[in-house]
């Protein structure tokens, strides 16, 4: 059966759902899934392939133009639910490694992923504060956090500014050394079993840190691209990171 979607203007709403909330969302969607088709694609799926899969289950004229590109660009894959009353695109927190096309509402691939108990390393850094943790599912197994003095950037010019910047660079190097040592302490007992590494904090700071911390290079193939938005790394920030690590991004379309 092919679902025909008439041409209409749709508005998009974007939000995130935690693991418990997304599981409830899936249950409600399944219970009310009259005429809902579903498409699940793994990471690195091509836009052309996704468009071809869409054409097998739905009338693509009614779809937003950028939907196939959004699915192809997702580093963790994507799941599309589409029908006359329910239109959602879900980007899961971790890679979903199967392709599935159905004329019905297939929630099992996403549900199975959300019930996974992955072993995950978290590295949260903003200049002057950090938190490191290892979680299994959402359970925190080990953690470390701390601070370090790193002055803000000097906005004035001149020789004094150059001296200040060199001093700041030395402070940052000392801080990164401390963070790297803590990452080694937390991750080394789990190094072979860690399935994913997630970073959070300030992108520029994390890039500088990863250049200096060679220990973490061994996890590059297991590092997810998305960046956790953690404003204050520390004990509380680490728990926020656990929740965000398991959160999914959702786009919902309404008329």
Query: Is 219 found in the same domain as 132?
Result: yes
Beta bridge partners of 192: none
Q: Based on the domain organization, do 104 and 214 belong to the same domain?
A: no
CATH number, position 146: 3.30.420.60
Residue 210 counted as domain residue? yes
As a whole number of Å, the CA-based R_g of the chain is 22
Predicted pLDDT at 149: 57
Whether 107 and 18 map to the same domain: the answer is yes
Domain termination site, one of 116, 146, 170: 116
| Residue 4 within any structural domain of the chain | no
| Within a domain: 36 | yes
Say yes or no: 240 and 128 in one domain: yes
Do 104 and 143 share a domain, yes or no? no
Q: Assess if residue 68 is contained within a domain.
A: yes
Which pair of tokens denotes residue 137?
């599912």
Same domain, 70 and 178: no
**Per-residue model confidence (pLDDT) at position 24:** 97
pLDDT of residue 131: 96
The reply to whether 145 and 98 lie within a common domain is: no
Residues 126 and 219 in one domain: yes
Residues 82 and 144 in one domain: no
Total Cβ atoms within 10 A of residue 241: 26
Query: What is the C-alpha separation between 114 and 22, in angstroms, rounded?
Result: 9
What is the helix (H) or strand (E) element at residue 88, kind and residue range? Answer: strand 87-91
State which of 82, 97, 116 marks the end of a domain.
116
Residues 156 and 185 reside in one and the same domain: yes
112 plus 125 within the same structural domain: no
For residue 165, what pLDDT is reported? 65
Domain-embedded: residue 3: no
Which of the residues in the chain have pLDDT under 70? 1-8, 149-165, 167-168
Which residues make beta-bridge pairs with 223? Answer: 197
Domain containing 178 equals 119-245
Strands (E), 95-157: 100-102, 119-126, 129-136, 139-147
Which CATH number do you get for residue 42? 3.30.960.10
Instruction: Classify residue 89: in a domain, yes or no.
Output: yes
Give the pLDDT confidence of 53-104 residue by residue, as tens digits.
Answer: 998 887 777 788 889 999 999 999 999 999 888 999 999 999 999 999 999 9
| CA 86-88-92 angle, 5° bins | 145
| Contact (CB, 8 A) for 43 and 162 | no
Alpha helices in the chain (DSSP H): 19-31, 47-55, 67-73, 108-114, 159-187, 203-212, 235-245
Q: Specify the pTM.
A: 0.85
Domain termination residue (choose one: 116, 146, 161): 116
Q: Is residue 252 part of a domain?
A: no
User: Is 67 found in the same domain as 112?
Assistant: yes
Q: How many domains does the chain have?
A: 2
Tell me if 99 is assigned to some domain: yes
C-alpha span between 174 and 60 (Å, rounded): 55
């Amino acid at each position: 059966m092919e679902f025909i979607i008439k041409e209409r203007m749709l508005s998009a709403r974007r939000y995130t759902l935690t693991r418990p909330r997304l599981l409830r969302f899936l249950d409600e969607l399944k219970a009310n899934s009259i005429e809902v088709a579903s498409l699940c694609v793994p990471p690195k799926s091509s836009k052309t392939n996704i468009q071809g899969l869409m054409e097998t289950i739905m009338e693509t004229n009614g779809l937003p133009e950028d939907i196939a590109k959004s699915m192809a660009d997702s580093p963790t894959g994507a799941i599309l639910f589409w029908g006359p009353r329910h239109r959602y695109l879900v980007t899961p927190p971790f890679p979903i490694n199967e392709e599935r096309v159905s004329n019905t509402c297939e929630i099992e691939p996403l549900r199975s992923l959300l019930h996974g108990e992955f072993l995950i390393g978290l590295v949260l850094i903003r200049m002057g504060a950090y938190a490191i943790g290892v979680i299994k599912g959402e359970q925190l197994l080990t953690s470390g956090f701390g601070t370090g003095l790193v002055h803000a950037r000097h906005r004035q010019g001149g020789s004094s500014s150059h001296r200040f910047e060199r001093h700041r660079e030395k402070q940052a190097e000392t801080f990164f050394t401390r963070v790297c040592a803590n990452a080694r302490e937390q991750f080394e007992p789990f190094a072979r079993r860690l399935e994913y590494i997630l970073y959070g904090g300030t992108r520029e700071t994390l890039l500088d840190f990863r250049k200096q911390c060679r220990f973490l290079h061994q996890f590059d193939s297991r590092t997810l691209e998305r960046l956790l938005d953690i404003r204050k790394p520390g004990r509380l920030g680490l728990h926020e990171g656990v929740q965000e690590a398991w959160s999914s991004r959702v786009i919902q379309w309404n008329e």
